[in-house]
Amino acid sequence: MPRSETELMLQGYGLTTAEMFYRLPDHQSILNSFVWQDYDLAPDYPKLFGFIEFWQDEIEGPLHSVRFTHRKLIGPGEWRNVVQEFYVH
């Protein structure tokens, strides 16, 4: 069952963005770029490295380089459930 983005963030996932530079199969001197984005766990990045392995196994364009950034948007200690309100006159 797919989890919502909020549930993923509360479990420690953060938004990971990777830019992959790869060579065209027929024109090795030309570099192209591809941007990949998903929620992933730092510092192991299982989804990112899984995608890189998939790329190397299944896609003809060889990777030149990969650069990525990770941003933890919300953490379990930063969110709290408010069940009561107080009014100040």
- Compute the distance between CA of residue 55 and CA of residue 38 in angstroms, rounded to an integer: 16
The pLDDT score that the predictor gives to residue 79 is 61
**pLDDT surpassing 80 at residue 44:** yes
**pLDDT surpassing 90 at residue 82:** no
CA distances in angstroms from 69 to 31, 57, 80, 85, listed in the order given: 21, 23, 27, 38
**pLDDT surpassing 80 at residue 77:** no
Count Cα atoms within 13 angstroms, Cβ side, for 38. Answer: 12
Prediction pTM value = 0.76
**Domain definitions of the chain by residue range:** 5-78
Mean pLDDT, all residues of the chain: 87
Q: Of 72, 8, 19, give the one whose Cα is nearest residue 48.
A: 19
pLDDT in tens, 4-32: 888 888 888 899 999 999 999 899 999 99
CA geometry: angle 51, 54, 57, nearest 5 deg: 155
